Amino acid sequence: MHEILQLILDWLSTKQGSGPRNGYGWEIIVITAFAVGGLLKARENHSKKISLKYRTSQKLLNNDLTADILSGNGKNSTHISAKLEKIGNSYIVTTYDAASPEAGRVQEFCNLDEVEKFLEKETIFRLSDFSESRRVA
């Protein structure tokens, strides 16, 4: 057991490889651990994003989804709202200032990926901000 432990400690404390990118054994272990951790985290984030889109599409079958953001303080506060609805095969996003809902911005998309890109680039909303509201007939 002592010989195996000594070999491992020697490998960890000596430079490995040759050339400009050589490093100690312990550095290789740390870099590998960070790379594996990063891959696992990326996979987890990807599966969460897929799950969010699936749940959102299921909720849109029965109800419209809304999101509200209140920014500022006191008399200078701004209330911005958005509505996400599915009509046929289209997703419609309406964003407006609550003080003047008639001046809203309406965008139509073919899928939730396009909706998500639009929300991230053009608004302060994210797909996860939307929650269920009752559909008015």
- The strand pair at 131-133 and 90-97 is best described as unpaired
* pLDDT tens readout for residues 83-95: 999 998 999 999 9
User: pLDDT band at 118, cuts 50/70/90?
Assistant: very high
Average pLDDT, stretch 107-132?
92
> Which token pair is 52?
């969010």
106 and 129 inside one domain: yes
Distances (CA, A) of 70 to 1, 57, 65, 75, 84: 64, 26, 17, 12, 18
User: pLDDT band at 37, cuts 50/70/90?
Assistant: very high
Q: What range defines the domain where residue 124 resides?
A: 63-133
51 and 78 inside one domain: no
* pLDDT tens readout for residues 42-63: 999 999 999 999 999 999 988 8
79 and 110 inside one domain: yes
Average pLDDT, stretch 93-110?
82
125 and 68 inside one domain: yes
pLDDT at 119 over 90: yes
Dihedral angle sign, alpha carbons of residues 25, 30, 35, 36? positive
49 and 72 inside one domain: no
* C-alpha neighbours within 13 Å on the C-beta side of residue 137: 1
Supply the pLDDT for residue 137: 44
Element (H, E) at 99: none
Q: How many domains does the chain have?
A: 2
